[in-house]
Each structure stands twice: as structure tokens, then as C-alpha cells.
């Protein structure tokens, strides 16, 4: 058993699942969250730190999983926290752009922190199970030294090398295709609904798209019920902001992800902030009369 003590900073859907998986695997875990109520389920099973600096001071490894890098920076780029992190390993699991991953690695080196940037291609239900992937960039030595506990998080733990933006770029490409397809589907489903044509008739004409994928991604549309046990529209929207920024940074025309971001913003404005991706349909269909 790897006996390093691990802090998990951020107990949202993903951070909670990560802390749970590490506890189940027998690790010595400390948790911290901005809203203290979310630490309650860990009382008696993990140490609850009263501050980020305490979490960093008392642990060998710190894993961060919050809204985005701006949030993470506000928590970590603080003198006392930087001092507590020096000589330790920081694993960043919040979503961000390739450029943010590069910046974070430069900052970590400047304050003497071993750094791994992780991109999660997994949802909370996959964490702790033999499913999903997490892609890491950073030094091979740091990755190998930390692999034993990282392997408890998902089925597939992948090292992508020292080019820090690699995993983030791959993730934007992957999710961009999924979300872009979803956006077009919700748009045409709105048209079909207005014209009283069943979605099934469309699905039967799309043999190049897997039926399970089509039915899964349009499930909320069919039922008008979009509860999120995985990723909320707030998180999707924050991710889309990073997607737009990644393309701007790379001098790619960002109109495609910008459109996605606009619809996600509208979905949040319509009150679907805590609902899942398929609530994007509500932003694309005509308002209910
Ligand atoms: P979530 O359930 O909405 O949790 C967000 C976390 O960020 C909470 O711990 C929240 O604290 C914290 N946070 C937000 N603003 C903060 C602030 N200003 N200061 C301190 N803490 C703050 O989100 P999630 O689904 O766990 O996602 C977390 C990260 O994982 C995101 O970067 C997301 O893109 C990435 N990710 C998620 C999924 C998924 O399926 N959910 C998959 C892959 C990657 P409070 O509890 O106090 O609000």
C-alpha cells in the first residue's frame, strides 16, 4: 500500500467521488471544500481540513478538483499555500485550456512543486471503478511515483508526456465532437417537434451514429426531465468557456465553440444550471407558449 497522505481540495461531484475512491482504497485522506457541508459525508473516514493551507501542510500529495483554473489559482497562488506545497506533489484535475496547463506547470516549478496536470474523461459514476480514463501530463518521474494511487481513480490511467497542453487539447476535441453533435441534434429535434415528426424517424436515418449514443444523449429531451447526477450545465458552461479560450490561444476561429457556449449560457439563464447536458435542448427549442 502506498502510504502517502493525500488531500482532496474541492468536493463537488468529481472531487467527492475522488476522495471516496481514495478512502475505499485505504488511503490516508484529508478533504477541504469551500462549502463545509459537503465535508460531512467524510467525517470519521477522512480528516477535514479547516483551510486549504492546512490541507496542503498536512499532506504529501494535493489533488485539486474545482470549477476551473481561475478558482484553483485563487486557492493555491497564496504565499502560505505555496510554502506548504513546496517539495510536494500537486495534481490538477480541474478543466482548463492547454495554455493554462502550461502556465500552471511553470508556476509549480517556480515554487518548487512537483506537478501533474490531469484531464478527466470520466464522470463521477465512473470514478473508483474499472471505467473511464484520466490523461496526465508532467514529468515521467512524477507520474511514475504517483501512479499507485492515481490507478485507484479510473480504469484507464494514461500518461501523455511532458507537452503540458496535450491532454487538455485531446479532451476539448473529444467533448467538442460530442457536444457539437448534441447541439445539432437538439436543434433538429426542435424542428421535428414543431412539425410533429417523431425523433425515431430521424434516428432511423442516421446509421452512422450509434443508436445507444443517440438515445442516451436525447433521453432528457424525450422525457422533459434533465436531472444531473454527472456534470451540471454550470460545469458544462465553464468548460465551454475554456474551449473557446483554447481555440483563441491556438489562433483557431472560435465561432463553433462560441455557439455552444452561447446555448449553454442560455440554458443556465433558463434555470437549468444544475441540470444535465440535454437541458441544452431548452435553449434551442421555441419558448413554450
Ligand atoms: P461541481 O459538482 O459543480 O463542483 C464544483 C467544485 O468547485 C465545488 O467543490 C465548489 O465548491 C468548487 N468551487 C466553485 N467555485 C469556487 C470558488 N470560488 N472557491 C472555491 N471553490 C469553488 O463540479 P464537478 O462536476 O465536480 O467538476 C469539477 C471539475 O471537474 C470541473 O473543472 C469540471 O470541468 C471537471 N470535470 C467534471 C466532470 C463531470 O462529469 N462532472 C467530468 C470531467 C471533468 P462549493 O461546493 O463550495 O460550491
- Residues 274-283 pLDDT 10s: 999 999 999 9
State in Å, rounded, how far the first CA of the chain is from the last one.
Answer: 60
User: Which tens digit of pLDDT belongs to each residue from 110-145?
Assistant: 999 999 999 999 999 999 999 999 999 999 999 999
CA distance 250 to 253: 9
What is the fold of 5-163?
Answer: Rossmann fold (3.40.50)
Structure confidence at residue 92 (pLDDT): 98
Q: To which H or E segment does residue 23 belong?
A: helix 13-24
Structure confidence at residue 1 (pLDDT): 61
Give every strand in the sheet of 156-159, ordered side by side.
47-48, 28-32, 5-9, 61-64, 89-92, 114-121, 133-138, 156-159
CB atoms within 10 A of CB 144: 10
The residue whose CA is least distant from atom 20 of ligand 1 is 34
Residue 230 Cα to ligand 1 midpoint, Å, equals: 11
DSSP β-ladder status, 47-48 and 133-138: unpaired
- The reply to whether CATH 1.10.1040.10 applies to domain 168-284 is yes
Structure confidence at residue 143 (pLDDT): 98
Structure confidence at residue 138 (pLDDT): 98
Q: What percentage of the chain exceeds 90 in pLDDT?
A: 95
Those residues with Cβ within 8 angstroms of residue 4's Cβ, 6 or more apart along the chain or in another chain = 27, 28, 59, 60, 61, 149
User: Which tens digit of pLDDT belongs to each residue from 225-269?
Assistant: 999 889 999 999 999 999 999 999 999 999 999 999 999 999 999
Nearest to 189 by CA among 282, 274, 123, 57: 282
Same fold, 5-163 and 168-284: no
Structure confidence at residue 176 (pLDDT): 97
Residue 74 Cα to ligand 1 midpoint, Å, equals: 14
Structure confidence at residue 179 (pLDDT): 96
* Strand residues in 51-202 grouped as ranges (E): 61-64, 89-92, 114-121, 133-138, 156-159
Give the pocket of ligand 1 (CB within 6 Å).
10-15, 33-35, 38, 65-68, 71, 94-95, 120, 123-124, 230-232, 234-235, 239
CA distance 147 to 136: 10
Convert 256-277 to b/e letters by CB count within 10 Å (16 or more is b): ebbebbebbeebbeeebbebbb
Where along the chain do its domains lie?
A: 5-163, 168-284
pLDDT category at 27 given cuts 50, 70, 90 is very high
pTM: 0.95
Residue 64 Cα to ligand 1 midpoint, Å, equals: 10
Mutate to test the pocket of ligand 1, among 66, 120, 240 (most ligand atoms within 8 A of CB): 66
Mutate to test the pocket of ligand 1, among 10, 32, 100, 246 (most ligand atoms within 8 A of CB): 10
CA dihedral sign of residues 260, 280, 124, 126: negative
User: Which residue in this structure is represented by grid cell 514529468?
Assistant: 139
Amino acid at each position: 500500500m502506498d502510504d502517502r497522505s493525500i488531500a482532496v481540495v474541492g468536493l463537488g461531484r468529481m472531487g467527492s467521488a475522488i476522495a471516496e475512491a481514495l478512502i475505499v482504497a485505504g488511503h490516508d485522506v484529508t478533504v477541504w471544500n469551500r462549502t463545509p457541508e459537503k465535508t460531512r459525508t467524510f467525517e470519521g473516514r477522512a480528516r477535514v481540513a479547516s483551510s486549504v493551507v492546512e490541507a496542503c501542510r498536512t499532506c504529501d500529495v494535493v489533488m485539486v478538483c474545482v470549477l476551473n483554473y481561475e478558482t484553483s489559482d485563487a486557492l493555491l497562488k497564496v504565499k502560505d499555500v505555496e510554502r506548504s506545497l513546496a517539495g510536494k506533489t500537486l495534481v490538477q484535475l480541474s478543466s482548463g485550456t492547454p495554455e493554462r496547463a502550461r502556465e500552471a506547470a511553470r508556476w509549480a516549478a517556480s515554487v518548487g512543486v512537483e506537478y501533474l496536470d490531469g484531464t478527466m474523461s470520466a464522470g463521477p459514476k465512473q470514478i473508483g471503478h474499472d471505467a473511464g480514463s484520466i490523461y496526465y501530463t508532467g514529468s515521467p518521474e512524477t507520474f511514475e511515483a504517483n501512479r499507485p494511487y492515481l490507478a485507484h481513480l479510473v480504469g484507464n490511467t494514461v500518461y501523455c508526456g511532458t507537452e503540458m497542453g496535450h491532454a487538455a487539447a485531446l479532451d476539448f476535441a473529444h467533448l467538442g465532437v460530442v457536444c457539437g453533435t448534441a447541439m445539432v441534434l437538439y436543434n433538429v429535434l426542435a424542428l421535428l417537434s414543431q412539425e410533429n415528426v417523431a425523433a425515431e424517424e430521424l434516428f432511423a436515418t442516421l446509421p452512422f451514429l450509434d443508436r445507444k449514443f443517440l438515445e442516451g444523449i436525447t433521453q432528457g429531451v424525450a422525457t422533459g426531465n434533465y436531472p444531473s447526477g454527472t456534470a451540471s450545465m454550470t460545469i458544462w458552461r465553464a468548460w465551454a468557456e475554456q474551449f473557446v479560450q483554447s481555440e483563441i490561444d491556438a489562433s483557431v476561429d472560435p465561432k463553433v465553440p462560441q455557439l455552444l457556449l452561447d446555448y449553454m449560457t442560455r440554458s443556465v439563464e433558463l434555470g437549468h444550471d444544475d441540470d444535465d447536458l440535454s437541458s441544452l435542448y431548452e435553449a434551442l427549442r421555441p419558448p413554450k407558449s
